[in-house]
């Protein structure tokens, strides 16, 4: 199946700093990618839809100025958590559908665990 990678897998940063997370589709092109956040023992909450070549679409309640998304190519989307605070500590996961494929499967990256101290 298709492969999605994320980098870094873990990051610890100080409060007030910014952190960039990369999501790459390795063997397919993704015009759309999705960013989710997951707190311990909870569900995946969709944060935003990343659109190649255009602005991201954010879900209600997600601050677009705090979570900057850039989808500069057909294989790369980045999420930047700006001015991070301890409450932003979470597991961030991206996904992408392989539109060229015939299945309805979403391919998820391995996730990035962010800890803000």
Partner 1 sequence: GQSLEQPSEVTAVEGAIVQINCTYQTSGFYGLSWYQQHDGGAPTFLSYNALDGLEETGRFSSFLSRSDSYGYLLLQELQMKDSASYFCAKMTTDSWGKLQFGAGTQVVVTP
Footprint on this chain of partner 1 (rule: CB under 8 A): 32, 34, 36, 42-46, 49, 57, 93, 95-97, 99, 103-111
Query: Of 84 and 97, which CB lies nearer to partner 1 in the complex structure?
Result: 97
- Nearest distance from residue 78's CB to partner 1, in Å? 18
Cβ atoms of 83 and 94 within 8 Å: the answer is no
- Nearest distance from residue 104's CB to partner 1, in Å? 4
Query: Of 14 and 40, which CB lies nearer to partner 1 in the complex structure?
Result: 40
Cα separation, 77 vs 92, in Å, equals 13
- Nearest distance from residue 70's CB to partner 1, in Å? 18
Query: Of 19 and 97, which CB lies nearer to partner 1 in the complex structure?
Result: 97
- Nearest distance from residue 108's CB to partner 1, in Å? 4
| Structural tokens at position 106 | 């979403």
Positions of E strands within the chain: 4-7, 10-13, 19-25, 32-38, 44-51, 57-58, 67-73, 76-81, 90-97, 106-108, 112-116
């Amino acid at each position: 199946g298709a492969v999605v990678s994320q980098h870094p897998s873990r990051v610890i940063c100080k409060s007030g700093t910014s952190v960039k997370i990369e999501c790459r589709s390795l063997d397919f092109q993704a015009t759309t990618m999705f960013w989710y956040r997951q707190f311990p023992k909870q569900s995946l909450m969709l944060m935003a839809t990343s659109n190649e070549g255009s602005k991201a679409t954010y879900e209600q309640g997600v601050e677009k100025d705090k979570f900057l998304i850039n989808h500069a190519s057909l294989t790369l989307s980045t999420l930047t958590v700006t001015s991070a605070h301890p409450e932003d500590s979470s597991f961030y996961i991206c996904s992408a559908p392989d539109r060229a494929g015939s299945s309805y499967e979403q391919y998820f990256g391995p996730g990035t665990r962010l800890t803000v101290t």
